[in-house]
């Protein structure tokens, strides 16, 4: 896979620069339903193939991604936890 293929797949799915696997799967479902021959009289078989190829590229990229389980990365991905830790004991913000 090249970056250009990944970029085109992301654009076809209408995804931003950051997306999760759930978002990719949900978007795939919507695109396939909207272009399915039973729902779309202007059905173009090539479009379904493009959507499925883009889905394979995106899921392959996500599947090969190495996740980081450090506390720093966790707090970056879950900013509410950082705030909870920072203000947990503050009486103004609900601490005791």
pLDDT digits (tens, 9 = 90+) for 33-86: 998 877 777 767 889 999 999 999 999 999 888 878 898 988 888 888 888 888
Q: Are residues 39 and 72 in the same domain?
A: no
Give the pLDDT band (50/70/90) at residue 26: very high
- Angle at which helix 21-35 crosses helix 45-63, to 10 degrees, equals 170
pLDDT of res. 64: 85
Q: Are residues 59 and 73 in the same domain?
A: no
Q: Are residues 60 and 75 in the same domain?
A: no
Q: Which residues are CB-contacts of 83 (< 8 A; sequence separation ≥ 6)?
A: none
pTM of the prediction? 0.70
Note down the domain range covering 9: 1-65
Q: Are residues 87 and 41 in the same domain?
A: no
């Amino acid at each position: 896979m090249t970056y250009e293929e990944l970029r085109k797949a992301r654009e076809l799915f209408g995804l931003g620069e950051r997306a999760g696997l759930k978002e990719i799967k949900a978007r795939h479902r919507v695109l396939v339903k909207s272009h399915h021959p039973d729902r779309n009289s202007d059905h173009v078989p090539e479009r379904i193939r493009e959507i499925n190829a883009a889905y394979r590229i995106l899921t392959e990229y996500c599947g090969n991604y190495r996740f980081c389980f450090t506390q720093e990365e966790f707090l970056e991905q879950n900013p509410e936890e950082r705030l909870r830790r920072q203000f947990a004991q503050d009486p103004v913000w609900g601490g005791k």
